[in-house]
Every structure is written in structure tokens, then in C-alpha cells.
Chain A
Amino acid sequence: MKKTMLLSLLLLGALSAEATVNVAATTSNLGMLVRTIGGDAVKVTVLAPPDRDPHFLQAKPSMMIALRNADLLVSVGAELEQGWLPSALSGASNPKILVGQPGYFEACAQVPLIDKADAADRSRGDVHPMGNPHVFLDPERMSEIGRALAGRLAQLDPAGGARFKASAEQFATKAGERVAQWKKTAAGAPGVVLYHKDANYLLALLGAPILGYIEPLPGIPPSADHLSRLVGQLKGRRGAILFTDYQSAQGPDFLASQARLAEGPAGAGGPAEGRRFGLLRHDRRLGQGRRLGPVMADPLLSYREVVAGYTGPVVGPVSFDLHPGDVLALVGPNGCGKSTLIGALTGASRILSGEVVRGDGLSIAYQRQRPVRDTDVPLRADELLHLTRADAEPPESLRPLLGLRVDRLSGGQFQLLNVWACLGGEARLVVLDEPTNNMDPSAVRALADLLHASRSDRAVLVVTHDARFLDGVSARILEVGR
């Protein structure tokens, strides 16, 4: 009797250990979707990081072992991963996740596709003959894929079925809300130049016209000829250029400078117009997972119609969302209320209307505008970083300072060190209040480097009266006041 009980306990243990579904997702945005819907019931391995082009990867042994260990493969499909996934799959010797099995889930097989080619002919470039596979930038299709995925996870783990379904619906609702918001933001946008046909679903959804492509043909890098033709077509027009981290910036930069498109934060079109299509204009680096993937997950911090002040209102209403990987700059002249806005987060000012929503368990590192400085402190810079638990590897520009005593640093150097004390730690949200104060031009450049080196799972909120130093950083700009 005792023995059987022990046995059944063991079995129970085995069963509950078995309950985690091992999922291999080809791209990070699909990984996000699986995690959002599966929650604790899934263990996700993402095969390609967000800074890689999923068209051009190589099947590596590490992918094969991930596929070998997987109960479910979630891929984009429609031949996007054609160059590497079949080879990795065949190397994985895992019959559970082959096409047609419950362990095979292709996002593109769950939704209707656009841009089906009538003929598969590679003289037109590396076309996707079965339709545009870049569905992961479409919140509506992702919602639908999420629903199908919930059903599939329920098939593999029936106990979690109801939960998966609820998560999928929640995801769809949130995506729907955000789409509504984006549509408003993008209304009247003059148009977008894409690098590849990878944001077509999204732009169709937002009603933003596509003005052209940086690539002359899919998979072919831009030629001078093609770019100058684009410049000719677009000269003087307004619009935005969207490209990802793994697409070369050369073509977009050339086009932006030649055609004088309003690209990047320093657009010539004036702030009013800028804000009209802010989403498209500022999110110029649309990392496949870094931007739009997390955008559909929960933000770390949301300001919703926030009016902040002390006895009376000073600034607002202001709304923005901060997602992992974001750098958002609140820009405006001194006295415009930027710091009051930040105060609404730290408690230094009052929220008179609207709300500030923090993500669950959000940890914040805050760098004050004027850090207190003692005149005689026998402490080295690296010791200071250690004390403040900024344990990440400091970037190149900071290394010369590490062995120096902090009281011997110049004001700008000390400021830099303080910034890294925030960025080098574990906090998910870093708030920098006027970080360029006291800085000479070389320190300002170093600051941009530090921001660039910031981890992709955190967000940075910068308050500054001068956003020029952010030119090299993929930051969004929010103008405050005026």
C-alpha cells in the first residue's frame, strides 16, 4: 500500500514535470507570443535573435539541439526560414515537430496572406511566392495566430487550456486597443519608405501609403541607380523610412539626406507636423523583436493623459508608453515642466489627472539633475560603480576613468560615471534628468555611447533641454510644452 502510494506520488511528480511544454520559436516576436500565451506552462527557446535577418540564417548545431528537445516548433513559415529551418529540422531527428504533426505550428498557415506572387521567378528577387510571410508586424494577425496557438498549446497541455485561451483573448484585446491608438497617431501620415516588404501588413492596417522600397528587388541590396531613382521620385515629399537593425543604414541614410525626407528626430517639418505621425517618424529603427514585438507585450511604464503639477497643473496632458529597448527623450526648454513630469513618477510632484502605470515589479534607477558631490572622497570610480551595483561591463569610453578617484574627475566625467551607475545596474527603467549638464562635447559623445550600450530588456527615459546628442541613438523624442 505504502509502495503504491509512493509510486503514484512519483508518477505525479513525473507528470507535473512533464507539464511544461518545450517550445522552439524561430524569431523573438514569436517567442514573445508563445510566452504571453503559454505563461509558466511553456519553456521557450528562440532560435534567431532579433538583430538577425530571419531570411538569411544558418542551421547551427545549437538550433538542432533546441529542436531535438522541443515539443512544439513555432515558426513564421511561408518559406521565410526556408534557407535554414529544414536543414536544422532534419538534423534534429525529432518526429514530433515535423510538418503535419501536432508539434508543428507555422504562423503563416493560420492566417490569410497578402502579396501572393502569380509566378515564382527569382529574376524578381528572392520573392516569397506563397505570400508575404512578415505577419509578425501585424497586431491583428498576431492576435489570430495567438488564438490558434492557444488551441495548440491546449492540445499539448490540456490542463492549461482555459488559461491559454484567456491569455490569447487578453493579448488580442490589448493589441486591438493599441491598434486603435496607433491608427489615431498615424492618421494622415504622408507615407513610408520600407527597406524590405516587411511592414506591409502593419502599414495597410494603419492606412499609411508605401512610397517605395530601399531594396530594388527582395533580397537584393540597394544599388546607386535604384536609390537615385527613389530620390527623384520622393524629392521634397514628406514621409518616414522604416528599416530594421539588420538592414544596412546606408541606403536609408542616403535617401533621407538626398530627398530630405523627415527622417529621425531632427526633421525639418516643425513639431506640429512631427507629432502628427510621430509613431512612424520616430520609430525609425524597427527592430524585428526589439520594437514591434515588445510593443505588443506590456509596457514597462505608461503615462496616460497625465497632468502633473504641485498646487496647480504645470504640464500635460502627456501620454506615452515605454517598452523594453526604448529610449524616450522628453525634450523642451528649461522650465517647460519636463522635470515635473518625471516627478509624477518619483513622487516629487503630483498627478492631477490621468495615470502613471508601472509594469509589475518595475525597478527604477534615477539619476538626479544635480548629483551631490563631496569634495574629498578617497574612492575610485570602479569602486563607486561596485558600490552602486553597476556590475555590467563598462563601455570603452568609460574605461579610462575607472582607476581614478571620483573627487579628481571633472564635472562631466563625474556625470558620465553617474549615468553608468544607473545604466550598468539591474534596474528595468533608468531615468536620466539632464544628463548633459556639465559635459564637454567629448563627454556628450561618450554619453550617447553609454545609451547605445544599454541593455535591450530595459527602457531609458531621458529628460533634456537639448536632444542633439541623441542623434546617433535610436531614441523617440517627445516634445514637452509649447
Chain B
Amino acid sequence: MRFPFPFAGAAVALALALAIPAVGQDAPDERKALEEKLRALEEKQEETKKALEALKASLEAPPPAPRSTGPVEAPGLKPLDLGSSGSTGQVSSGTSFNPALSVIPEGLYYNDNRSGGAAGLFGAADGFAGTPVGEGRDLSRGLNLGETELTFSGAVDPYFDVTAIAAFATDGVGIEEAYGRTRSLPAGLAVKAGKFYSDVGYANKQHPHQWDFVDQNLPYEILLGGGLNDVGVQVTWLPKAPVYLLLGVEAFQGDNPGVANVLGPDANPAFADGAGPRLFTGFAKVSPDIGYSDALQIGLFGGRSSLHQEQTEQEGLDGTAWFAGTDWVFKHDSPEPFGKNDLVFQAEYLYRDKSLDRVAAEDPALVGRPSTARQDGFYVQGTWGFAPRFTVSGRYDAVGAFVNQIDLGDLGSTGYDASRRISAALTFNPTEFSRLRAQFNRGDAVIGGVRESFSQFFLQYQLSLGVHGAHKF
């Protein structure tokens, strides 16, 4: 045999000489064969001996004892009598027919350098002033009691689950969510009906106590009225496939300050009175499997509202709105205890387009003229578990980020600057059931072309009592 290169020959020789991973190549073959033979003989002898002994024993043995159930009948342990295929039941402390119950109170300390008015600045920012936005967190400087969330959930029958979440505030009670969801539809289909948080985007369906910050991100707060939560019906489909792909459509009554603000003829006789459902959305989420420790989910979503109305002192606007966006989430789950070195990165981009007509105005000449708003926003945020039970989070968010254009037809079109914010939070989770957080925000909102900057400081505690809540992705 000839080797094309001299050192390749040397290499093979070396590998042979080293006999490094001598897989199965243990000893000279001949000797090995002999060893094998010897062993085989010994084994055979052993077997014969055993067979003889067994025969002897069976002659002398007492009648066989009743069937042993194996090692499980050790003192103190008796198998449960479950029939042949085992129990399909669940060992649960959630008592049989009562719904699972949990109570989550929240308290806050708040201060800012704007005499308590910092939170309202974005609603007054150029491009958004006078339009309906989310209510935000209505905090006074000093001590606040947040909303106390009361959750009931359980299975109604084999076909439906129900979840009802009430939010108790000092000034009243609201229904945050109340919906039924099917349990047993075939083919990966599920239908949800009631009042619920839409599954568009990633952050939208999170309750305030699931946020990584005290406050909602800016694109949701300003463009989606604080988040899409409405009365409606949702159908989702998770096809049987090697990769997670969730598709869903929703029909909502259409009641959201950002995209489906319906005031009706009562607010202004010129306003249309449309029947619901008026807001339709769709979403797709895909999550490639990238191993046990990491998860990535990418989503696309959008929606259209057939009725959106805005009323200011000078005018009434009536028309339609649509929005679209994309959400990206990456999570790293470290094996270290208590969330140490866990990572979450998430980012969403949201674009909103309102096509409105001026149906009423102080100046009658303006009536009938269009007013179109094309605006967007995004946030990027990350959370890192830098020590067991401690996380640090950072966020940058902006509205009117790349587009902030109000178009008044032949009266011209105006572009505005972006308003933005940067936040940092430090969170301590003594257990899964309690949380303490400190957060600092620094931001500037463009008002009348001037950057109005502000600082905010929050301290927050959240306590969760009752059944162990499930951690949604």
C-alpha cells in the first residue's frame, strides 16, 4: 500500500502505535479467543450447576407462596388498587369542584420631578395630544395601593374551562378578564369567548403583575390604549407539526382607545353608530426548537377596526384604523438555582394607521376634510438574573419612533419628533409568590416641538396568595 504523502503514512503508523481509542482492540486476537473460550466453558459449567441446584430446590421446596407483587410490598407500602392501566387522575390540592383561587395585591411608592405629572406627558406629546391613549398607572406621589387582582379558574365540564379575573381598586371593581375556553376540540383548535387580553404581540396578554417593569411599554400604552383587552371571540390553531406554529384570529366588539375608540351619536350627533364586532385581528407565532435551555418566539400580528372616533373641543373625527407589528422573544433558562443567569430579551414593533374624516368642527369649512395619522413605536428590553432571586432589567421604548405623521389632506401634512424613555429596574423575588421592585425612568416627550424631560422613581411590591399560578411563556 502506498500513501500519497509521506507524513500521512507516518500518521497512520502513529495512530496505530498509540492505539489510543483502542475500541474493541484490547489484546492479541489469539489470546482473546482463548480467554473467550475459557469463559464460555466456565459459564456453561456454572449454568449446569445452577440448573442442578434449581432442580434440587424445586424437589424440596414448600408449595409456592401467593404471587409476590415484587419489591413494592416492603413494610408500609401497598400498591394502590388502580386496575390494570393505572389512574388517569391528578393528585391536586385544588379541591374538587371549587375553582382555583388566587389574590394578588400590589402596593407602590411613586415620585417624579414633574409634581406628579410625568406619567401624562406622553399622552400630550406631539402627534398624540388630544387623542385617546391608555390610562396608564394613575399614581399619586407617595404611597399607592395598586389594583388587587382576584382570579378564579377551573374546568366547567369536559368541554370548557373558565377564567375570571376581577381587579379591585380603591374606587371600584372591574372585570379584567372573564372568558371560557374549549378543552376538547380536535385538530389543535381552541376557541375562547368572553372578555380577554388579545394574543396579538407578546406583551399584550401579560397582566401588570407579569411585567418586568412597573409600567406598560410605550407603544402599547400610547398606540394600543394600554393593551388590547376587549369582549370578543378567538380561534387558535396549533397544527400537529415538528415546529411550534400558532395561528389565531379574533373578533372583538371594538372598544379600545388606541384603535377602536367608539363614542357614538351620544358624544357627537355626527358620529356613526356601528354594530359590533368592529375590530378583527390575526396573529402567527413561530418558535423553532433551539434546545432545552433556550427558547425563541417570533410573531407577526395585525388588526383592523371598522370604527374609530375621536372628539376634541374643536372637532370630531370618525373613520377606521388598522395596526400591524412584530414581536421577538428570546429566553435563556440557566440550570443555576433561583433564576441565576436566566436571560430574557424581548422587542416589539407596532405601526398604527388611522384614516379619519372630520365630521364636525368649529370651523364649518373644515368639515368633511380627512385627517390621517401614521405612527409607530417600539420597545426593546432585557432581563438578567445576576444572582439567585435577583434580576436587573433595562428597557428603551419610543413612540412616533420612525413615523409620526399627521396628514390633513390639502391643508398639508406634519411630521413630529419621537418621544422616548429609558428604564432600569431591580427586582427581588423572595419566592415565586412575592416580588419587590425598584425602578427608575428617564424620558423626554416632545411637546410643542420642545423636549420635556422627566424622571420617575417607583418602588413596588406584589404578593400572590392562593394556588400556584402558571407561568405562561
Contact = CB atoms under 8 A, between A and B. Distances in A.
A413 B388 CA distance: 38
B242 A65 contact: yes
Contacts of B84: 151, 154-155
B468 interface: yes
A83 B20 contact: no
Contacts of A371: 18, 20
A371 B88 CA distance: 58
Interface stretch (A95-103, A224-232, A234-242, A448-456): A95-103
A98 B338 CA distance: 29
Contacts of A221: 337-338, 388-389
Nearest to B472: A87
Nearest to A379: B11
B88 A100 contact: yes
B39 A106 contact: no
Interface string B276-311: 000000000101010011010100000000000000
B18 A418 contact: yes
Contacts of B27: 346-348
B78 A112 contact: yes
Interface stretch (B105-113, B179-187, B221-229): B179-187
A315 B161 CA distance: 67
A336 interface: no
B295 A61 contact: yes
Contacts of A372: 17-19
A292 interface: no
A56 B22 CA distance: 43
Given A93-B236, A220-B431, A221-B337, A425 B21 contact: yes
Nearest to A105: B86
Given A82-B468, A219-B432, A384-B15, A141 B77 contact: yes
Overall SS of chain B's interface: loop
A364 B20 contact: no
Contacts of B22: 364-366, 368
A281 interface: no
Given A111-B79, A427-B23, A100 B89 contact: yes
A48 B432 contact: no
Contacts of B333: 52, 57-58, 60
B240 interface: yes
Contact of B337 (A64, A247, A377): A247
Interface stretch (A10-18, A169-177, A438-446, A464-472): A169-177
Given A61-B287, A151-B84, A172-B70, A93 B185 contact: yes
B284 to A, nearest CB: 12
A129 interface: yes
A271 interface: no
A86 B470 contact: yes
Given A154-B85, A347-B27, A140 B93 contact: no
Interface string A138-162: 0111011101110110110000000
B91 A106 contact: yes
B466 to A, nearest CB: 9
B409 interface: no
A427 B87 contact: no
A381 B244 CA distance: 42
Interface in B168-187: 181, 183-186
A126 B432 contact: yes
A295 interface: no
A258 interface: no
Interface string B438-473: 000000000000000000000000000001111111
Nearest to A161: B84
Contacts of B285: 61
Given A62-B244, A126-B432, A421-B21, A93 B238 contact: yes
Contact of B21 (A68, A90, A422): A422
Among A133, A366, A368, A418, max chain B CB count under 10 A is at A366
Contacts of A173: 70
B289 A110 contact: no
Contacts of A141: 72, 77
Interface string B188-201: 11100000000000
B24 A109 contact: no
A63 to B, nearest CB: 9
Interface in A105-126: 105-106, 108-113, 120, 122, 125-126
B31 interface: yes
B11 A377 contact: yes
B82 interface: yes
A205 interface: yes
Contact of B86 (A112, A149, A377, A425): A149
23 contacts: A51-B335, A58-B471, A58-B473, A59-B470, A82-B468, A82-B470, A83-B470, A91-B472, A98-B183, A110-B82, A111-B80, A112-B78, A133-B91, A172-B71, A205-B74, A248-B336, A346-B26, A367-B20, A371-B20, A377-B11, A384-B15, A390-B21, A421-B21
Given A82-B468, A120-B93, 12 more contacts: A52-B335, A58-B331, A62-B287, A83-B432, A93-B236, A148-B82, A149-B86, A151-B86, A364-B23, A365-B23, A366-B22, A388-B20
Interface of A: 48-49, 51-53, 56-62, 64-65, 68-69, 77-79, 82-87, 90-95, 98-102, 104-106, 108-113, 120, 122, 125-126, 129-131, 133, 139-141, 143-145, 147-149, 151-152, 154-155, 169, 172-173, 175-176, 179, 205, 219-221, 245-248, 345-348, 350-351, 363-368, 371-372, 374, 377-379, 383-384, 387-390, 406, 418, 421-422, 425, 427
The 7 closest A-B pairs by CB, nearest first: A148-B86, A61-B287, A176-B71, A87-B470, A365-B21, A347-B27, A346-B26
